[in-house]
A and B are shown apart, each in its own frame.
Chain A
């Protein structure tokens, strides 16, 4: 049997970085091949090479038994390679049918788009594969789950026989993930091949036929779910044994430190995003917010941090009403926030690590006196935090942008925990972070909880919420639909609630 895709000795460097360092890979028809690795391991670069989005420095690509050169996505599409990107490649104001036919338009007369026929073909295709989509709806009006189906259809419409799925489950509910796995199994049952890129071990064990593990641009092992355990896979990914479960002692909650009462917040489009949320977080406990992204979590975090006004309701920190207070005054009353998107809100990449570490207090003693900064104090403080939080960097003066994602995030965590806050709002604290750093950040959060910190954890990774939280609040369409505690914290139940299912 010929392999669907064979990669031999793929090398791709970006400046100093060897993103792919002699990668070999063989994917067979009729199989789901998982490509497992941490962020920055080189999985996406490798797949971009296959899809023609980047040109490799050297190496060979063999598709269906024939050596090929792929100059761009057009070549990949012609060969029958389709890719569903982690960030969907859909054009929001265009319709489903327009997005699907884009680049291979159905025309009559030539040059004029025949949307009638296009819509019909899309419907036929979607029925054939059981991927239901509304052909005439605009992409922006659809849920991410449906958008992903459009992406898969787009690839199938182009005649893809090898489908690359880049982190396809990141934005889906557990139920939607089950649906996706169903689709994947149908596709390979028809003889197609699927490459499934992920860093989630559970999904690999569930759906993959073969597994290739990458680390630092190299393939470290080929295996199958039968031959290895999740712990083995984690060790291969990271290069050392990893604790998959966070070890933590039972919580000893104290006084209420963060209280949210009847909070209503609008999003940028002036639509209600947070719809009357009541929450309290006590000292010494971690309250996790579970929910599919876009159900008001970001607006809630911004309203608590003071970046977004509350339409009504109250936010209390340490019993004091701060609803009308500025973000800065909230920070000074014991609040710390790890924002969900570190590049947009967490760090200033161009500035040195030291400056990022004092971003919230650079104008306060001891870091400043009157209008003069005390750089000595800043650097001493930074050096101490770099050590304490194990930030791998050349020194406090190194630009933050040159650190790995995990170390950038440690800078954010160090800054927020370094001020000994009373309340920590941690939004997506480990997004885009390697497993080693995830372990470290989780450890820090749990240790601080044990010392009495009140933590509100917002994460779209359900595993993270489940393993860290003492209580779990499930949000759906801006409302808290359930608060679960102890035994009630159950994966399937939370999954249903996240999807809008009634509290069982």
Chain B
């Protein structure tokens, strides 16, 4: 038999792990929000994160500087995203095809480079990003350690909820972005350069997903492993849909998904055997339910996924 006593420390650990593991999902989802709000589907987020994780680690390893690694992960994300932008915006390639190509490319390239250069290294890795406890705030019971005792990528993610929300809904850039995602022709007749807006948003989504990649290799374990993103980019997209294309909603959806992971691992530890595959299905099942329930209420940007051709 097992005990069901719940202590404050359990809640803290549960909450903290939920938040920390939600970090890459939320970052991918924010990238999705920027990208899709401008009218470009980005299923390449998974591949972008993986590339970010690899490049971030490789640079940190070579330079012995974790911060250079983080910057490199972001840059790599932007670079890979630019392939998606060029293919899908300038060359009007189907966005799903372009995204799939990038995902496959990312697995291949990072795998090859890992085996060629990193796997055989016997040297000490660069370590992980430090945990910063924010004075005073981290002393708040329960919430303090959860929110204010984290490493860089998680803090960045929390700040970005607000930043992305403000950008999308309160700035000139956000209004133009939403216009391009809903009705690009109308945006163009209003004097907006649709391709420019879409390019920058795709690049921004690359930066966000690249940062998400840094979480895996530089914050979580301090090492790169092939395929280490393990589909989290796709779950991030699911979180974006679940969160109705808003950063706040996407963040909460990410928490929901990772919380269910936490429940699953605790249940297993407590002797309840739920096959992990079932819990792994949960984000996708929830998303299917939400998307199915939302049919007819058309909440996705109307022009998402459609290449825009100038007249």
Determine if chain A interacts with chain B: yes
Question: Interface of A with B (CB < 8 Å)?
Answer: 48, 51, 53-54, 72-74, 77, 83, 85, 88-94, 98, 101-105, 107, 111-113, 154, 158, 268-270
Main secondary structure of the interface of B (DSSP, over half): helix
With both chains docked as a complex, state the minimum distance between the C-beta of A26 and any C-beta of chain B, in angstroms: 25
Indicate which residue in A72, A92, A269 contacts B182 across the interface (CB closer than 8 Å): A92
Bits for B181-193, please: 1 = Cβ < 8 Å to A, else 0.
Answer: 0110111111111
Distance of A419 Cα from B185 Cα, bound (Å): 41
Most chain A CB inside 10 Å of its own CB: which residue of B175, B176, B192 = B175
Indicate if the CB atoms of B182 and A94 lie closer than 8 Å. Answer: yes
What chain A residues lie within 8 Å of B132 (beta carbons)? Answer: none
Knowing A102-B190, A111-B172, A113-B172 are in contact, say whether A48-B178 is a contact too (CB < 8 A): no
Indicate if the CB atoms of A154 and B190 lie closer than 8 Å. Answer: yes
Indicate if the CB atoms of B185 and A89 lie closer than 8 Å. Answer: yes
Indicate which residue in B175, B182, B183, B311 contacts A53 across the interface (CB closer than 8 Å): B311
Distance of A495 Cα from B296 Cα, bound (Å): 32
Q: What are 11 A-B pairs with beta-carbon distances under 8 A?
A: A54-B311, A72-B188, A73-B188, A91-B179, A94-B175, A98-B175, A102-B175, A102-B190, A103-B187, A104-B191, A113-B172
Main secondary structure of the interface of A (DSSP, over half): loop
Indicate if the CB atoms of B191 and A111 lie closer than 8 Å. Answer: no
What is the number of contacts between chain A and chain B, taking CB atoms within 8 Å?
76
B63 lies within 8 A of chain A by Cβ: no
Distance of A458 Cα from B176 Cα, bound (Å): 39
What chain B residues lie within 8 Å of A51 (beta carbons)? Answer: 189
Question: What interface size band does chain B fall in?
Answer: 20 to 34
What chain A residues lie within 8 Å of B173 (beta carbons)? Answer: 111
Indicate if the CB atoms of B190 and A89 lie closer than 8 Å. Answer: yes
B7 lies within 8 A of chain A by Cβ: no
Indicate if the CB atoms of A102 and B183 lie closer than 8 Å. Answer: no
With both chains docked as a complex, state the minimum distance between the C-beta of B48 and any C-beta of chain A, in angstroms: 26
Indicate if the CB atoms of B302 and A92 lie closer than 8 Å. Answer: yes
Indicate if the CB atoms of A113 and B191 lie closer than 8 Å. Answer: no
Distance of A107 Cα from B175 Cα, bound (Å): 12
Indicate if the CB atoms of A270 and B191 lie closer than 8 Å. Answer: no
B90 lies within 8 A of chain A by Cβ: no
B170 lies within 8 A of chain A by Cβ: yes
Indicate if the CB atoms of B182 and A113 lie closer than 8 Å. Answer: no
Knowing A53-B311, A270-B296 are in contact, say whether A73-B175 is a contact too (CB < 8 A): no
Most chain B CB inside 10 Å of its own CB: which residue of A48, A72, A77, A103 = A103
Knowing A112-B170, A113-B170, A113-B175 are in contact, say whether A83-B189 is a contact too (CB < 8 A): yes
Indicate if the CB atoms of A103 and B190 lie closer than 8 Å. Answer: yes
Indicate if the CB atoms of B176 and A103 lie closer than 8 Å. Answer: yes
Indicate which residue in A92, A93, A103, A112 contacts B191 across the interface (CB closer than 8 Å): A103
In the complex, what residue of chain A is closest to B311 when comparing beta carbons?
A53
Knowing A53-B189, A73-B191, A89-B186 are in contact, say whether A113-B296 is a contact too (CB < 8 A): no
With both chains docked as a complex, state the minimum distance between the C-beta of B162 and any C-beta of chain A, in angstroms: 14
With both chains docked as a complex, state the minimum distance between the C-beta of A37 and any C-beta of chain B, in angstroms: 19
Distance of A89 Cα from B189 Cα, bound (Å): 7
